[in-house]
Amino acid sequence: MPRPSHGRTLRTTAAMALGVASLGLAACQTSEPEPTTASPDTPDAAVAVLAEAGPAGAHPGETIYAQACASCHDQPELTRSPSKETLQAMNFQFLNFSLTEGKMKVQGAALSAEERGAVISYLTGRDTSSLDQWAEAMMCPADRREVDLSGEATVTTFGFTRANARELSAEQAGLTAAELADMEIAWSIAFPDATTMRSQAAIVGHNAFLPVADAGAMYAFDLSDPADPCVQWIYNTPGGAPLRTSASYGVVADGTPLLVFSGLDSTVHAVDARTGEAVWTKGVGVYSYSLTTGTPTVLADRVIVPVAQYEISVAADNSTLCCTNHGYVLSLDPATGDQQWRYDTMEDAVHQRDRGDGQSLMGPSGA
């Protein structure tokens, strides 16, 4: 729930944009347990393991963690991986996605669904129960439920505007530089079971549209009353896939006010800002390690989506054919999500030479 404060507060919604910090799951592992018979990739398997673990004896996930995870996550300073304590604060859903579809899917592929479930339940001690009940109490009353988009769109992409200056005028922000030394927090909000706040909100008038990565959700906040912010709608990603990019906003040619943002699974989401309903979703990953990190840009006749890659995270493994991935930029139809054109940073990788062990060295790649 939000916590209001007294004293000098920010005078406009633009100045009340939420601050964010980021962390990511690193793809680092030096030893792997032998895979066992695979079973369906669902969190339900993890719940079963949690139930079977019982209070007596070591948790079955502890051994799997020691074999498959500890070499990196027990020494985060050296590996730049999230610490074990950070993993323990993450939610069940996010860890399961990371091991099956996200940045840890290579490591997770060596584990059966039961083993993944065991290590996740060992780390979190929780099941798949939703912790979204807080939002029900924070939903706007009927007279504030309708989204008012008549105000100025001051933050429409990661750089605030397409000029990418990340700067607001005193009029837009509602305060001057001299007033920065005499401010107190207007309100704050915490999201249950979330450890990653990596995405920036889009700000339109008194509305903040905030993607929350770990929750796999976009929240529309009405900030017209700084002492009583409320939620107008919530968009949940299909399957609960975690989000990754900041939000982009624009009004497209047919008049639809569109919010566009991307997920950890390289799915682009286009949502009607008035209702929170999906206009379309589109998977844009082409290569084995494609990743949407850059914030999309909404134009009247197209949505520009940058796509990166993280193949470097597995390149140290000699059993991996490397390297074949590169980045690209897509133009999508704002009404349907259909691809209009694609620009590649380089040509597709081809065999360059034998790397010395009988395996092919591929290239170019990376950018």
| pLDDT confidence of residue 277 | 97
Q: How many CB atoms lie within 10 A of CB 199?
A: 23
**pLDDT confidence tier of residue 281, bands split at 50, 70 and 90:** very high
> Which pLDDT score is estimated for 27?
35
Q: CA 123, CA 94: separation in Å to the nearest integer?
A: 12
Q: What is the mean pLDDT of the chain?
A: 80
The SS3 call for residue 316 is coil
pLDDT at 91 over 60: yes
Answer for the pair 57, 65: CB distance below 8 angstroms, yes or no: no
257-262 sheet: strands from edge to edge = 248-251, 257-262, 267-272, 278-283
The 10s digit of each residue's pLDDT in 143-175 is: 999 999 999 999 999 999 988 999 999 998 888
* Stretch 278-303: mean pLDDT: 93
Residue 126's pLDDT is what?
55
Q: Is the per-residue pLDDT at 105 higher than 50?
A: yes
Residues 220 and 233: beta-carbon distance below 8 Å: yes
Which is higher by pLDDT, 121 or 339?
339
Give residue 365's pLDDT: 84
Domain ranges of the chain: 43-124
Which residue, 341, 332, 270, 268, is CA-closest to 303? 332
Query: Looking at 125-129, 194-198, 244-248, 353-357, which range is the least confident one?
Result: 125-129
pLDDT level of residue 57 (50, 70, 90 thresholds): low
Residue at 338: amino acid letter: D
User: Average pLDDT in the 237-242 region?
Assistant: 80
Grade residue 92 by pLDDT with cuts at 50, 70 and 90.
low
Tell whether the model's pLDDT for residue 14 goes beyond 80. no
Do the beta carbons of residue 85 and residue 77 sit within 8 Å?
A: no
